[in-house]
Copies of this chain bind each other. A is one copy, B any other.
Amino acid sequence: MVNPVEMEQGDQAEAPLFSPSLQAIPMPGIRRMINTAAGMEDVIHLSIGQPDFPTPQPIVEAHIDALREGYTGYTMDAGLPELLSELARYYSKRYDRELTEDNFLVTTGATEAMYLALTATAAPGRQFIVTDPTFLLYAPLIRMNGGEVKVIPTRPEHGHQVDPQEVIDAIGMRTFAIVLNSPSNPSGAVYPRETIEAIVQEAAYRGVYVFADEVYDHILLDEGMEFPSVINCASDLDHVMSVSSFSKTFSMAGMRIGWMISSQGAIKKLRRYHMFTTTVASTPAQWAGVAALKGDMTCVDDMNAEYRRRRDRVVELVSETPHLTGYVPQGAFYIFPSLPPRTDATDLALRMLEETGVCVIPGDAFGDTCSNAVRISFSNSMENIEEAFARMQPWLARQNF
């Protein structure tokens, strides 16, 4: 008898090109909106995910100086030594904890930093707790690498705050890590110190890691607010990684410089992985970053004052808009109000775009439990914000839910 396993199989059918793991990366639900908007005139974008301010001039000049001085070759894999020093100095002071150059890895934006953190750790059998709604990056990267995602929904009635006890109760035998994003994109929620402390301390005790996307760490919209980072709430850095960048704070999104803060052991390993994803980050843009950290922070304060003014007005406008349930976001430049339960916000946002020219991002882009919400960005002028709501309010009043 021929063993069937040994029988000749003939030529294999042609393999598909891509690995099944790519299935975990969703096609963008907002593509149809962007395409529709591209074909229209007079669109007001409340969909923008980057600051609408120019990069502060001293930072631009430092970038130019670096180019003129010939800093156009590779730098060290972990980052430009001068930038690592400045980051260590700046964050040691900000977080009142001693950090050295070896606690930092400079990356191509916060995206690469989060990519490294999640793909270096996600694996079959490991469960990651992720809030919902949240920035669209995390769940696909976890699933791509065989990890499992457990979702904790947050609600506009609670300002999209997360209950730390709910997170702690969700930790189970398979839980490997918790992913936090504060200030949150899309909700603008900033978790208070008690929340962060409770989560990182219980997580460390249980041997669970906390990965924090803190890219909006400087955009805080209440007067005198302090930012509780996982870095200053953790007893040690063995179970935390924090990711941030220059993109939002200094309006440098197109320069693509971000970083990760973690234990020296974790950073050492990730430096090597980083060599294989992008080799190094832009050298002249890292010099621009040195200038940003060395400069005074008035430019940041000025941008924040304007975001705050817009936030206050947007909260008012949302509360006056029929069918929208809002709250007061405390960070970033977003609010994520809900429409009535079971509303298909994707369908509604598309019709609203077509009929009013106002472009917002439907909730589906940010999770599975918020398809009746929309993200409204106030990274646009007050004039455009006023005009957008003047169009949306009567239009929404006419809709049946």
Contacts and interface: CB of A to CB of B under 8 A. Distances in A.
Interface string A49-75: 111001100001001100110111111
Nearest to A251: B72
Contacts of A381: none
Contacts of A14: 207
A19 interface: yes
Most buried by B among A22, A207, A277, A281: A277
Nearest to A64: B64
Question: How many copies of this chain are found per oligomer?
Answer: 2
B115 A253 contact: no
A377 to B, nearest CB: 13
A60 B67 contact: yes
Given A12-B173, A19-B120, A70 B55 contact: yes
Interface residues of A, number: 68
Contacts of A27: 272
Contacts of A284: 63, 254-255
A280 B282 CA distance: 13
Contacts of A60: 67-68, 72
B254 A71 contact: yes
A15 interface: yes
The 3 closest A-B pairs by CB, nearest first: A254-B283, A14-B207, A19-B123
Given A17-B121, A25-B272, A111-B276, 7 more contacts: A18-B120, A18-B121, A19-B123, A72-B253, A140-B276, A254-B283, A277-B277
